Amino acid sequence: MKENKEGIIKFDDINYAIYKIGEWENNYQINQIGVSDEIPVNRNTLDHVILSMDEIRRAEFEIDDTKVNGFVAIAFQLNPKIQNMDLKEAIELEQKEYDLIMGELNKLQLESDEKSITVENEDYLIYKLEKECHVTRSIPANKYTLEHHKQEVKKIEDSII
């Protein structure tokens, strides 16, 4: 871990995910990454986001005798708007959203890995990444990130009502 006694983190530290608050170019309904306003600012965070999306997409579930990926399954389970959608349309929408998000992620201007920040700041959202079995948990690393995280969870919950 590259956090030192003064609470400084280098942007190349794989133990942290670092975001800024921003807006996506497109509106998303199925992919929770696109519902969030957390935009990756460094290579490690971008790679973590892509890996997380790919893991969810690789997960297979069956709905009405049709195999679907994790994003479609989650949307059908939790989002009444998607539940009312034809399954084939939902599958196509997820693919479209994935392609758009990947396009947006690939265009991001990332901060240099040499840059450092303090844990206690309000310019970036900082999450401590911890492995728990096969899952990576993202734990808000400061009060600013914790408060924003609570707002994000509520926004995602509200988006599926």
pLDDT, tens digit, 9 for 90 and up, residues 95-127: 999 999 999 999 999 999 999 999 999 999 999
Domain for residue 1, yes or no? no
Residue 107 resides in a domain = yes
CA distance 160 to 35: 10
Q: Which domain holds residue 128?
A: 8-159
Q: With beta carbons less than 8 A apart as the criterion, state whether 119 and 11 touch.
A: no
Does pLDDT of 149 surpass 90? no
User: In the numeric block, which tokens belong to residue 98?
Assistant: 């994935």
pLDDT over threshold 70, residue 159: no
* Cα–Cα distance measured from residue 142 to residue 128, given in angstroms and rounded to the nearest whole number: 9
Report the share of the chain in percent with pLDDT over 90. 69
Q: Is residue 106 in a domain?
A: yes
* pLDDT of residue 135 exceeding 80: no
Residue 127 structure tokens? 């999450």
**Are 11 and 2 a contacting pair, CB within 8 Å?**
no
On whether residue 150 sits in a domain, the answer given is: yes
Q: Is residue 3 part of a domain?
A: no
Nearest to 55 by CA among 33, 83, 85, 28: 33
Query: From CA 24, how far away is CA 38, in angstroms rounded?
Result: 9
Residue 2 lies in a domain: no
pTM: 0.86
63 in a structural domain: yes
- Number of folded domains that form the chain: 1
Determine, yes or no, domain membership for 96.
yes
Q: Does the pLDDT at position 51 exceed 80?
A: yes
